[in-house]
Amino acid sequence: MPKGYIIGHITVTDPEAYREYIERDTPILESHGGRFVVRGGRSEVAEGTAHDRHVVIEFPSYEAARAAYEDPAYQAVADIRRSSADSVIILVEGTG
């Protein structure tokens, strides 16, 4: 079964509030089998334009990634991200 991923491209506008989001989202996403593959770190834009921060979370399946994103507990915490960062969040199925 192909793995699922949540990919986030983020520009933080309120670092203090965003830290709270990170502290609170991690246990929720991990409870759905999520594993952070990329979380911030060094990056550079090779082509085009991009946000400042990138996050890739791997899940056992696309369905698990979707369930994690749709979890009401996560959505409550996601409101912190929405108010403290500009972001694009993408759900993706892996290749197998």
Overall pTM > 0.95: no
pLDDT tens-digit readout, 21-70? 999 999 999 999 999 999 988 999 999 999 999 999 999 999 999 999 99
The CATH number that applies at residue 72 is 3.30.70.100
Which residues form the domain of 72?
4-43+51-93
Please give the backbone phi and psi of residue 95, each rounded to the nearest 5 degrees, phi first.
Answer: -90, -10
Output DSSP code: residue 77. Answer: H
pLDDT at residue 1 is higher than 90 = no
- Considering its fold, how many domains does the chain have in total? 1
Q: What is the pLDDT of residue 96?
A: 72
Please report, in angstroms and rounded to a whole number, the separation of the first and last CA atoms in the chain: 6
For 13, other C-beta atoms within 10 Å of its C-beta total: 12
Is the torsion defined by CA of 95, 34, 36, 43 positive or negative? positive
Residues sharing a CB contact under 8 Å with residue 34, sequence separation 6 or more, in sequence order: 6, 57, 58, 59, 64, 65, 68
